[in-house]
Chain A
Amino acid sequence: MQRTLILLIVAVALNAAAAAATGGNDLLPPQVAFRLSAQMAKGDEILVRYDVAPGYYLYRSKLKFSVESPAVSLGTPRTPKGSVLDDEFFGRVEIYRADVVIHIPVKLPAGAQSFTLVARSQGCADAGVCYTPLQQRIVVGPGMGERVPETPPGDGRSLIDSLGGDTAPKR
């Protein structure tokens, strides 16, 4: 039994070594590259956090938030200043490379403890690919949010509408 365990560990280690030897630069799924969490901060504000994996970045201007319940209303998100990317095609655009926390004012109906937030984002990998716009749903409550299983956005038009902003071509 013990021997089997050791063999298993060796096999895993060697596979990792093989992975490193061959480059080991898999592209992360966007939900992993741009990991979303959220929580109620005070009664009237939520904190939304993206953990951006090294080698990936999110466009500040592409972050959009909405709620599904008409009883919940969101204020204007306060997104922190990003770092400036001097893009060959789009000029100077603000991006987030590390973790970013966004403050969003919120009004909940009396007695409500949690609600579902819909977060839209768009980002790229330094490896030279950009992801199609990402829509993530998350339940926001007193603790860190629980991710709701990914569902494809129901409406392709609104997905595309969320594009635009400061990445418009400069020429």
Chain B
Amino acid sequence: MAGVPLAWYLILSAILFALGIAGFLFRRNLITMFMSIELMLNAVNLSFVAFSYKFGRVDGQIFTFFVMVVAAAEAAVGLAIILAVFRTRKTLAVDEIDSLKY
């Protein structure tokens, strides 16, 4: 691998993944939480591509296409659900969406 060593990609990917987890756990806005999940998926994609490049094979890159398709489907459904929630409650703060309790 000319120039950038594999480890750098993996470290970047791990940092992005951790940022995604942190964003999901600490932000309380639905859209931000959703974006954090997308960030995690793309961190995984980066790992796939880096590994694939190291092996000199394309299968890892093909996996990222599958992941992207799935992420797109998830985005469509997720945003629709968020929209439906907003319609009934007029809020995007996850802490206020707590009618289900014992």
> Do the two shown chains form a genuine complex with each other?
no
